Each structure stands twice: as structure tokens, then as C-alpha cells.
Structure 1
């Protein structure tokens, strides 16, 4: 993306002169603030909601240096986040073990991501920054009644600040190592007649942190991101308000390094000989400082998104409100990378001696969605209720040329398109049985249709003539419906302690494995995955609200489990309903005002995950026998332990401001990359992946910040200056891997970064 020199330096000069970012506000230094959430489509105290939910305020997010999705790992119990392999913009999110590692748009994630009530439909483009966040709400467990499809494991809601109608704002500059600069500005304009308007801007640049030794190609992990936001509120009357939000973002960077980690994969090792010797020189089990990309093959990751959201709310009377929400989002996603790791294409010369999946690929995706939601929210003396109608449509295509010329084969194109048409009605009622006991009942009915097409063919080059069909143009469609009820009891044991029990159903959408090369498998849909979750919990405020604690036990049963399997005798994968699973565990959260100006907060999640059924060769391709391998399998992306601890302390009050120190530690235990076999020699062993080989190590991360807040610099506001370090101990573990059969590649934990932020708020 281009910017004139005047624009570039005008923004930076403004940031340096006025300086912004975050301000902690006038929060209490001796008691914890009361947290209000909208997890049930209305404002409620966090402690009163019968849901396992973590709410993180905008002030905390800024203090911890979190601007969006990518900083969420372990910030809530049993919440796991990773970038998808070889991408800085595709998400892999798990809550309580519910996860999908498939990045393509033919697959829907089981965790719903929402921005101001608008559903973000796919993992591609799912890593984004949000300007001026008010809070993040992480809802754990199925949210199928109020949020619908694809919230089987939970939902993550990002809520941005609305226009205030009063003049104010923030501006700021951040600089750090690897050439990092972040410029941001938010301006809240005075109310003009009926209108209140807020404008936001964010620009991030950072050099790559792994040097690319290939001449003329950018370093790995380079970031160039720019985002704009317009939020407007129109007060038509005392009873009717209209909110409109437009956001635009552009990313033009390079993917993280995808390096060769091992010459052993699930299918064995490359054949011995000169090639094997050459490949051994590329193997690294430590985070590389440099690597090469395939000569003549560009590596890139470019994304453009535009979002529109319109909300109209009308207060019928003091107790009833009608709300309409319309949203439209468009995304263009393009990337190019080596699927086998760095510059292996330069030495992989034939299919019999290569590392199995050595190739160069590109993805060109266009995706759009629009939704309509109508809500009736109301209450009586003993009841709160929500009724609604919902409609969602999306349409996407991916054109995916893949270069196998290193095998002496023509170019392969893997092109496909997907569509969704989903409709639902829903309702939920809270009834106060007694002053202490509240019962909740809800139901959602969803119908959806999935359709699409696939075409795979060979050409003599990216724009060369057609050579041969692999899969002729093939279309397919299927429809499903689902009921997702919820029932809960909340008991107010004391004024400060609430007990709850909850039972809920959820489901994740079905679809088609659109990248398949087997026509029979391609036309066979995978049905929705369904879940039944039961949990009990307690939430309490203690010591005159100087402590808040919560605990929950959950048990989640999944059926028609979505499992990616290899077709027998091939390296082609297909998604099937091959299993059942049980995920159970405990979750603990707490915040403690230790003393005046010192706060400690943290969480811990324990997860016990196991397969109850895992049928290999579930499609029964080529007459192979069906085998239940559940007793010999372990689930993917299900770390047994997640942990987070944050200490925020006031060191001193001075004439120059308040000096604070913040330490933020997260831990995610070792986990499996795929549904692995415990042993490949067991009587019920399945094919391919195995424990000990296809796993990811524990990830530890310590961030630190020294902050001088509320500096009196003149003018209408105050400044903040902070020195920060991320990954203080410079951990170097792989965070993702890809087992390509005869080898394994890895993506790595980013190195230690540090810098200074200067901010001003008025």
C-alpha cells in the first residue's frame, strides 16, 4: 500500500508531538471495579451471568499490549490461540478443546468471533486489529441459543467504544526493535445536531524477524498493516437511535518462516542418497535466524477487508426494545509460500526423492458475507426475555495454483467455491422463581444450506494453457437443520455469591471437503458436529469487593465429530463425521486487590480430552475395513493446562505521574498437533500421525511493562510513557508444525521484542 511522504511523516509528527494510546482512567486503587457484559444480548453484571465468561477491559488490553485476536492465548481458562501454519492472518482458536485446524474457507471454525455483534465467518483473515476496544468477552461452552451455528466451543466478542458526542481522543506512537513503528489516533468529535462521530486510524510496520537469504525477496514475518474506522451515532429521538460503523484494513506483509524441522514424518523419511544429504543441511530444531525462499517464487500475504454494520434500536417503552442489526463484510485474501519449508524447492527434484509435499502454492480468495438480525429485548417484574430472527449468507471462491514443476509435473490448479444460506429464530427467557433463584430457558432453530463447486486441473504455467483435467467441474449441495436449547439455574446464595448450573447444545456447520481429488469423497458431505455441554459454577465477590473469584466444572460430549483423515493409499485428506469425544475439566479465575495500587489477577484451565469413537476410513473408500481407533488416539489442540497470571503494581506517585509495573505471564501445556496414535503397533492403530512425533511443546511467554501514567504535559489531557518487552525470556519453541509425510516443517515463537510507547489522551 502506498502513502505519500507528506502523509507518512505528517502522521508520525502528529504522534510524536501529541503522543497517545491508552489511559487507565480513574479506576479505584483499593477495590475492583464492577464489570458489565452483554453475553445475553443485554447489559448484566458479570457475576450474575450463568455462563463461564471472561471479560477483559480495554484498559487492561492496552496495558498488556493487546490490539486484537493474536494476543488472546491463555487469557481465559482453556483458551488456546495459534496462528495457522505459515500465516500471520489465519486463526486456529480452541476453547475447551473444540477446534478446527483447517484454514480453507470450505470449513467453519467451532468458535464464533464477533466484532460489535457482527459474525466473522472464516479463519482466513481472522487475525485482525481493532481500533479503540472497550472490552473483550470470552464465552466458554456452547452458545448456540443466542449466537447460533459455529459457537459449539464458545464465542469471542470484541466490543469497541461508541461515539460519546464529546470532544476527546487519543494519539500515540510506538517504536521498537525490528524496525517496529505503530501510529494510532482516535478522535471523538463534539455532537453535531443529531450526529456523534468517532474516527480511528492505526498504522503498523515491522521488519521481518528471520532474514531471507534469497536476493530480492522480503524477510519472513514482515508486517505492513493499515486500518481506518468510522463510527457514527444518530439520535433520531429519545426512543430511536441509529449506529453505523465502517472499517477498512489492508495488510501487505510476508508469512512467518516455515522451516524444515525434521526429515521424519508419519510416512517415514526421504530416500537415502545425495538429496537426503542435501536436505539434512536445511534441518533446524531451533528458531532460525535466516532462511531462503524458493528462487523465482514470491512469498507474500496480502489482505483487504471492508466492513459495514448498521444497528437501529427503538425503545417501545421503558421495558421493551426492538433492535435491528445489518452487517456486510468483504475480504480479499492472497498469499504465496512454500508448502515444504523455505527453499527446499531448490533441491527437491523428483517425487521419489523429495520431501513429500515440496511445492510452491498460492491462494487467491474472495469472500463476502451479509447478515440481518432482529431482536426484541424486554423485561417484566419477574422476567427478562430475548426473541429474535437471524439470516446469514456468504459466498467465497479460492483459486489455488500449486507449482509441482520440481517434480517434472505441470502446474496444478485447485479451485473451488462455497456458499452458505442460514436462517434461524431464537428466544431466551429468564424467570425469577424466588428472590434468590432464577431459571433460564432458551431455544434456537437453525436451517442452513451449503453448496459449492470444485475444479482441479493442470496447466503449463500460472497463465499457461490447459493441459489435463484432474477433477472436472463438480458441484454439490446439502441442507441441515438443528435445535440448540439451553437451560440454566442461578442461585444467589448471598449478596456476593452466585451458584449456577447450565445445560446447552451447540453445533458446527457441515459442508464439503472442497479441495479433494476423489470425486466420491468430494460429493459426500460431512454433517454438522453436535455437542451437549453440562457445567456447574460459582462466582463470588469477597473482602468488600477487593477479590473476585469464579470456578466451574464442565463436561462436553461431542458427536458426529469432524475428523480430517487421509484417503487410503494417498496423501489426500478428507473431512468426515468419524467420531465421538468427551471433553471435561475445571476452570478457575480470580482478581485480587492486594493493597492500595497493587492488583493480581489470573486464571487456570484443566482439560481432560478423549475420543469415545474414532472410525478410520469412515467413508469406506476402496472397500477398506472400518476400524475404531479411539482407544489408541489422542485429540489435537487440547492442552491439559493453560495458565495466566498478571501483576499490576503502583511503584510510586510523583509530580511527573504515577509509575507502574506490569508483569504478564501465560503458559500453554504440550499438546498434539493432530489426532495422533498412541502406538502404531497397537491392534487398533490407525494410519499416519503418532504421539511424540506430531506434537507441540509447552509455550511460555512473559511480557513486562514499566509505565509512567498521567503525566501533566499541558493542554486538556495527560500523557503516558511506557517501556515494554514481549517474550522477555526469549523462548524459542515451535508454535505450529506441518507433518508432510516424509518430513516436518515448523513455525516458531517470535523472538524477544522491546520498545517504547508515548501516548496522550484528552
Structure 2
């Protein structure tokens, strides 16, 4: 009878799994941490079919993730409105990426393949106290599976759309009772989903491979060491492509590219260095080394955390698809198939970083005070050899050859050294009430140097247009500094109230900052302007709850984010047809929002989830600022006044109203809508484990994410099909003011993206699954660069088998 009762109780016992996180640099349940966190363990990642870091972003409220323009290996995250699409190393992202507590400073290779991963944590809001610089928007933290004392592993193989095939494998081997190693690897190859109708090649493939060696040693009762070495290679791009063939607009049955720049092409001696032989590709490697030596016990421990990351990225990217860039008269430009591309950036980059952290965790006075503190050192050295080319067509130089102009060819080095100390304490006043206070002090120095690779700038007579350190002056004669230093305190305050065993209430105030830098995309010395650090305060309150015997989890948070000196990058088309870039601290920024996450197990085997985000954001401009700043750049307030005056006089934005539709001033003279901040966003989904008997389980899983309309271009430039005439008598074929049908541009319409997986599992250790991503092949504009659209990937499918032992 006792056995019968115990069996019945076991059958009735089910609920949500507990996820432990280290968001406060110590191990805790996600439900006890006073921070807005979305956490996914390995089972949840598998159930939702998540295979890389970018796919995680679909399920996090108020987080938008995109592949950077051109770069398939690079993710740009926009969390609570803060993000950055730049990959050049004088810019830092405001969303930090971490692997096993090691910060990845560059966005070039942060679209991590999630093989052999224990969990992913997405921390929303500034994390300046415990994680430091460049986390004003939040952090994405990936934790790899540690080696263990159990012999085992798995092998997995799959085949999918666009002739994709992939193999993943992992093997865990205990060496003795104190030492274990884990070896993991993956390889994948595909044809690419976009067809180049000019060259016949396939583009936007997803090729690459990676290996990882993980080691764990239990050196003694109070000493543990874990270490990892990872090497990855990615050959993947996010080249601009179109759902209808630009050369035959009625052909809309795939994705199309029309540049004449080939993957095996070159620039015929026009560029210096090895980048002259780059074709239309993006190739990225990363070597990652981590070491964590932990000494002590639960009451007092010291961790020595060491990291080294070396990344290379070589590419040549045609940002105008082998033709002219869009304009108000010709928003859809004719196909030219230029053999050296339309507007091309060729880049050779090497980026190395080293970090050392000493972290102390302590519990004092029998748990009255819990403390985490430490010292942190970070050093980074970067090398970039890059050039900009523009091909123009004339009667004397017709397509497809044209006349290729070298706009700039330069080599840049930049470095960062940062020292920091941090301390945070949790005062457990009662079993229910906890007060938290912490602070971090950072001292950071950045340096920048540039030299011109063009022959005329290396013949002993430096021309005024040469991109060299001695020419770094603006037109007023003011020198552009080649070093920056910031010393800053970033505190955090929080209060927790555990209403009962199931409900936690919290409120917090946190400060963060993002480093300054230089506008290194400039093609003349006066454009290489510095910009200052971005600083943020976030005020947040929320509730975390687990109800009905842990069968329902509801987490709700509300925040107010106040940012000063927002770093705003903007791309524009110069008079010669090339793309110009400028980044300044143009404005302040405010974002107020709500985030809700629900997870439930209403019946045995049935798991459902939903997340919801709302945000209301805006730029804030001080209209009393001087007309020109110290470097001669016009203030936004003055630009807005000029734009409104031009519109009042009957000039046309995008045409002769030159102050409009530039920077963060929209075509109608208002401040632009901040990018990638849909007012509403939603994700829903679920899975069900059906017992088929004989050791077999069938698991169908479906999920979908909805994103409200949003702007994806800084100036909010969208072309509409209705002509407009200026008071000067010029008639423009289209307009930027919303009159007529939409043609192309920054406005991204609301869209649903649905995914599904069907998995058959056996107790014998094998698994078969079939999945689709973007199952209904929905298209959405993810980004624009100089008004050229970049859209999301098409529908894909994958069938794979796995055997675990």
C-alpha cells in the first residue's frame, strides 16, 4: 500500500524546473534575484529549437536582435531601446556579451553557436555595478556545460533547407576521480539562401565549424578549477537581398542579389594589403580561452577569472548591391551588376583582449550580510585595415565595369585599458526583507591612431586630405584628441520583500555607462570626431511569483530608463553617391516600459509560455545648446529649426530641404522615432510530451513572436509613391511624408514569425526531430543602411538525428 501511495504521488508531482543563475555573480534561483532576467536552460533551448544566440532574442520582452548589416557572424542587440549596429572597434555595444563570465568586447563574432551550452541568461537593464562598462542596456550571458565525472556524450547530424548539413558531437571523459575533460565540436555547410542573378553564385550561406575543450579539476575539498579553449570559424554573411528579383520584379519566388562582385573576386590592385584580394564574403575566426580557479567554501571563496579572446574578421561587402543607392527620385535603382560593387567596404581586422578578475564571495554573521566584490582589469588591442570604394557609371565608363573611386584606404589601431573595483552587499534584515547596495569604480583609457595607405600619402609629403594623426583637425583648427579617459562610479540600490514562499517584490535603481570612442568610418580627417561616454540610470520595480505548487511562474517588471549623451550613429548618402557615417552624442533618451513573462505546466507533459513587452521611448534634446559644438557639428535643435523653416518655405525633404530626414530629425521636422523599439511585442508557445509507450515520447513544440511596427533607420526615411513639387519648381517622383503607397525604407511593418519542432525521443538514447524556422516565410525589414533595406532570413527547415550515450 505504501508503494502504491508513493507511486501515485510521484505521478501527480510535476511542475516547472528550477533554473539557477549568476546574475549577481553568485549562484541563486532566478526567482530570488531582484533583476529582470530571462533564463533558458539546455532543455528549454532544445525544446524551442534555439541553435544560436540570435534566436534567443525572439523570446525576451523588449529585446530586438538582428544580424548586423552584411555580417552574418555579428549580432546587434537592442534592449529597452539601447543598441548599436557598428562592428568597427572604436565603437562599443551597450549590450554586453559574456561567455563563462568572460566579456566579449567585439560584436564581430557574438552570434554564438549554442552547442554544449548549460544555460543562457538575458539580464535586462543596466548592469554597471557587477558587470561594468558597456552594459547600459543589459547583458547576454552564455554558460557552457562543465566537464563531469560521468562518461558520456552525444552525436548529432542534420540536413536542411538550402542544402544545409551539420554535425554536432560531444564527449565527456573522467580522467580520474578529480579530473574530467569534455571535447565538443560542430561543423555545418550550406549553399546560401540568396541567389545572385548576375554571377550565378549563392550568398548568405551559414558555413563554419568549431571545437571546444573543457577541463574541470577538483584540486582539493576547497579548490576547483575549470577551463575552456574554443576555436570557431564562420563563413557567413547578411548581404542585402530582395524578395523579388530586382532585374525581373515579377519573379518573387526566392531571395535575390544583383551585385557583380563575386565571392572569388578582387579589386585589381586598387587597395593595399591582402584585402585587395578579398571577394564578396565575410570570414571570421575566434579563439577563446578561459580559466576560473575557485578557492574556499560557501562562507568565503575567492575566484581568479582569466580570459583571453583573439578574433579576426576579413570581408568585402557591397552595401549597394552593385548599383546606385536609393534616392527620392529613384528609390528602387536599376540593376547594373557592377563587377567591383557599388559602394564597397573591404576590411581586414584583428582584435585581441585580455581580462583578469579577482572575485570574492562571503557570507558574514551567520548569513546576515552576503557580499560579492572584486578587482577587474581589461586590456584590448585592435588592428583594422579597411577601405571604401565607390563605382560610378558614365558614358565613358559604362556598366558593368564603371569607374571605381578609392574614397579612403587606411590602417587604424586602437586600444583600451580599464581598471575597476566593485563591492555589493545584501543585508538580510529579516527572513522577508533584504536591502542591497553596491558600487563600481572604473578608470578607463582609450587611444586611437590612424595612417593612410594611399601612395600619395606615403611619398613624404602629407596632403591635407590624408587620414593620418598629424591631420586630425576640424575646419576651425581644433585638434581631434587621440586619447580619452573616464573615471566613473556606477552604483546600485535594491530592496527585496519576500511576501511568502511564492512571491517576491523588488525595486531597484542602477547606473551604467557605455564607453566613448571615435567616428572611425569617416573618409576625411575632420570626420574622425570623438564622442563621449553614454550614461544611464534605470529605476525598476517588479514581482516574481511561483504559484500552484510551482506549476505557474509569473514575473512582471516596470522600468524607467533615463540616458544622457546617447550615442547615435547615422548613415547618409553624400553628394558623390557614397555612404557617409557620423556618430555623436546627439541627444538624451528616455524609455518607460513593462515586461511580463509567464511559464506554466497546466498538465503533466504540457509546457506553455508567453512574454509581453511594452515600451514608450523618445529622444530628448536641449534646445538651449549652442548652434555648433566644440568640433563644429550642428546641434539637433538648430537642425530642427532649419528643417521646419525649409518645410515652411515649401522645400521638399529628401530633396532641397537638406536639414530634414538627416541624423535624428525626421522628414516632417519632428525628432525621429528611436530605432528598433516596437511599442508592443509578444511571444507565445508551448510543447507537449506525449507518452507513446515502449519507451517512446513524441514532443510537438510550436511558438510564435509578434513585433509591432517600428523604425529601423535613424532618420526614419521611407519612400512613398506620390510625386511632390518644391517651391523652387523641382518635381520629385516620390516623397518622404507618407503620401501614397509605401515603396521601401525605414518603416518596418508589424509581423508574426512562427517556428515549430516535432521530436521523437527514445529511452534507448536516440532522438529524431524535424523543425522549421519562420515557417510561414514572413518578411520583415530588420535594418536600413543609407536607405537600402535589409530583410530577415526566409523560411528554413531541418531534419536531424541524435544519439546520446
Q: Aligning the two structures, in what range does the TM-score lie when normalised by the shorter sequence?
A: 0.7 to 0.9
Say if 1:126 and 1:566 are closer, same or farther in 2 by CA, change over 3 A: closer
Equivalent residue number for residue 144 of structure 1: 128
Alpha-carbon distance in 2 for matches of 1:100, 1:301:
19
Say if 1:431 and 1:207 are closer, same or farther in 2 by CA, change over 3 A: same
The residue matched to 1:178 in structure 2 has which SS? helix
Say if 1:66 and 1:318 are closer, same or farther in 2 by CA, change over 3 A: closer
Alpha-carbon distance in 1 for matches of 2:467, 2:411:
11
Task: List per-residue Cα deviations over 1:568-593 (Å, max 9, x = no partner).
Answer: 98763322112111101100001111
Equivalent residue in structure 1 for 2:218, among 226, 231, 235: 235
The reply on whether 1:307 has 2:307 as its aligned counterpart is no
Q: In the alignment, is the contact (CA less than 8 A) between 1:340 and 1:355 conserved in 2?
A: no
Alpha-carbon distance in 2 for matches of 1:329, 1:540:
39
- Structure 1 residue 403: deviation in Å? 2.8
Q: In the alignment, is the contact (CA less than 8 A) between 2:243 and 2:253 conserved in 1?
A: no
- Structure 1 residue 459: deviation in Å? 5.6
Q: In the alignment, is the contact (CA less than 8 A) between 2:410 and 2:453 conserved in 1?
A: yes
Q: In the alignment, is the contact (CA less than 8 A) between 2:149 and 2:177 conserved in 1?
A: no
Say if 1:284 and 1:404 are closer, same or farther in 2 by CA, change over 3 A: farther
- Structure 1 residue 211: deviation in Å? 1.7
Equivalent residue number for residue 750 of structure 2: 698
- Structure 1 residue 690: deviation in Å? 7.6
Say if 1:30 and 1:653 are closer, same or farther in 2 by CA, change over 3 A: farther
Q: Where do residues 419-438 of structure 1 align in structure 2 (5 Å cutoff)?
A: 419-438=415-434
Say if 1:355 and 1:174 are closer, same or farther in 2 by CA, change over 3 A: closer
Equivalent residue number for residue 344 of structure 2: 360
Alpha-carbon distance in 1 for matches of 2:717, 2:751:
22
Task: List per-residue Cα deviations over 1:613-672 (Å, max 9, x = no partner).
Answer: 177976466585662648532111212122111211123422150111100111222211
Say if 1:28 and 1:328 are closer, same or farther in 2 by CA, change over 3 A: farther
Equivalent residue number for residue 291 of structure 1: 257
Equivalent residue number for residue 609 of structure 1: 617
Alpha-carbon distance in 2 for matches of 1:200, 1:281:
45
- Structure 1 residue 107: deviation in Å? 0.5
Q: In the alignment, is the contact (CA less than 8 A) between 1:341 and 1:745 conserved in 2?
A: no
Q: Which moved more, 1:198-207 or 1:334-343?
A: 334-343
Equivalent residue in structure 2 for 1:470, among 444, 453, 465: 465
Task: List per-residue Cα deviations over 1:241-293 (Å, max 9, x = no partner).
Answer: 1111000011234x23414799xxxxxxxxxxxxxxxx974779968533333
The residue matched to 1:303 in structure 2 has which SS? strand
Report the number of matched residues: 694
Alpha-carbon distance in 2 for matches of 1:283, 1:117:
49
Task: List per-residue Cα deviations over 1:441-478 (Å, max 9, x = no partner).
Answer: 000000101111123454699x9999977333117111
* Larger RCO (CA within 8 A; separation ≥ 6): 1
Alpha-carbon distance in 2 for matches of 1:393, 1:415:
20
The reply on whether 1:33 has 2:26 as its aligned counterpart is no
Alpha-carbon distance in 2 for matches of 1:232, 1:376:
22
Say if 1:690 and 1:92 are closer, same or farther in 2 by CA, change over 3 A: farther
Alpha-carbon distance in 2 for matches of 1:542, 1:126:
36
Q: In the alignment, is the contact (CA less than 8 A) between 1:164 and 1:188 conserved in 2?
A: yes
The reply on whether 1:752 has 2:795 as its aligned counterpart is yes
The reply on whether 1:439 has 2:435 as its aligned counterpart is yes
Equivalent residue in structure 2 for 1:256, among 234, 238, 241: 238
Equivalent residue number for residue 528 of structure 1: 533
Say if 1:342 and 1:623 are closer, same or farther in 2 by CA, change over 3 A: closer
Q: In the alignment, is the contact (CA less than 8 A) between 1:581 and 1:611 conserved in 2?
A: yes
Q: In the alignment, is the contact (CA less than 8 A) between 2:757 and 2:771 conserved in 1?
A: yes
Equivalent residue in structure 1 for 2:47, among 49, 56, 63: 63
Alpha-carbon distance in 1 for matches of 2:21, 2:770:
31
The reply on whether 1:540 has 2:535 as its aligned counterpart is no
Alpha-carbon distance in 1 for matches of 2:82, 2:251:
29
Q: In the alignment, is the contact (CA less than 8 A) between 1:91 and 1:103 conserved in 2?
A: no
Alpha-carbon distance in 1 for matches of 2:631, 2:251:
37
Q: In the alignment, is the contact (CA less than 8 A) between 2:621 and 2:637 conserved in 1?
A: no
Alpha-carbon distance in 2 for matches of 1:284, 1:675:
31
Say if 1:100 and 1:285 are closer, same or farther in 2 by CA, change over 3 A: farther
Task: List per-residue Cα deviations over 1:306-348 (Å, max 9, x = no partner).
Answer: 0111111100x55100000110000110111212125669xxx
Task: List per-residue Cα deviations over 1:698-723 (Å, max 9, x = no partner).
Answer: 342111111111243xxxxx111111
Equivalent residue number for residue 776 of structure 2: 729
Alpha-carbon distance in 2 for matches of 1:614, 1:92:
28
Instruction: Structure 2: state its 5+ residue gaps.
Output: 1-9, 267-278, 326-332, 394-402, 470-480, 641-664, 725-734
Q: Where do residues 43-192 of structure 1 align in structure 2 (5 Å cutoff)?
A: 43-192=27-176
- Structure 1 residue 212: deviation in Å? 2.2
The residue matched to 2:703 in structure 1 has which SS? strand
Equivalent residue number for residue 448 of structure 2: 452
Alpha-carbon distance in 1 for matches of 2:82, 2:633:
31
Task: List per-residue Cα deviations over 1:348-385 (Å, max 9, x = no partner).
Answer: xxxxx999993232111100000000011011221110
Alpha-carbon distance in 1 for matches of 2:303, 2:672:
47
Task: List per-residue Cα deviations over 1:671-711 (Å, max 9, x = no partner).
Answer: 11233369999xxxxxx998884222334211111111124
Equivalent residue number for residue 318 of structure 2: 338
Equivalent residue in structure 2 for 1:582, among 567, 572, 590: 590
Task: List per-residue Cα deviations over 1:44-83 (Å, max 9, x = no partner).
Answer: 1111100001111111112222122121223111111000
The reply on whether 1:197 has 2:236 as its aligned counterpart is no
Q: In the alignment, is the contact (CA less than 8 A) between 1:114 and 1:158 conserved in 2?
A: yes
Q: In the alignment, is the contact (CA less than 8 A) between 1:261 and 1:283 conserved in 2?
A: no
The residue matched to 1:47 in structure 2 has which SS? helix
The residue matched to 1:72 in structure 2 has which SS? helix
Q: In the alignment, is the contact (CA less than 8 A) between 2:258 and 2:321 conserved in 1?
A: no
- Structure 1 residue 165: deviation in Å? 1.7
Say if 1:103 and 1:472 are closer, same or farther in 2 by CA, change over 3 A: closer
Say if 1:626 and 1:190 are closer, same or farther in 2 by CA, change over 3 A: closer
Q: Which moved more, 1:187-196 or 1:288-297?
A: 288-297
Equivalent residue in structure 1 for 2:712, among 661, 673, 678: 673
Equivalent residue in structure 2 for 1:396, among 369, 374, 382: 382
Task: List per-residue Cα deviations over 1:551-583 (Å, max 9, x = no partner).
Answer: 011000000111235799876332211211110
The residue matched to 1:470 in structure 2 has which SS? coil
Q: In the alignment, is the contact (CA less than 8 A) between 2:242 and 2:257 conserved in 1?
A: no
Q: In the alignment, is the contact (CA less than 8 A) between 1:417 and 1:453 conserved in 2?
A: yes
Q: In the alignment, is the contact (CA less than 8 A) between 1:240 and 1:313 conserved in 2?
A: yes
Alpha-carbon distance in 1 for matches of 2:251, 2:22:
45
Equivalent residue in structure 2 for 1:641, among 680, 690, 698: 680
Equivalent residue in structure 2 for 1:598, among 592, 602, 606: 606
Equivalent residue number for residue 491 of structure 1: 497
Equivalent residue number for residue 651 of structure 1: 690
What do you get for the CA RMSD once the two structures are aligned? 3.2
- Structure 1 residue 427: deviation in Å? 0.5
Alpha-carbon distance in 1 for matches of 2:11, 2:445:
48
Say if 1:624 and 1:192 are closer, same or farther in 2 by CA, change over 3 A: closer
Equivalent residue number for residue 17 of structure 1: none
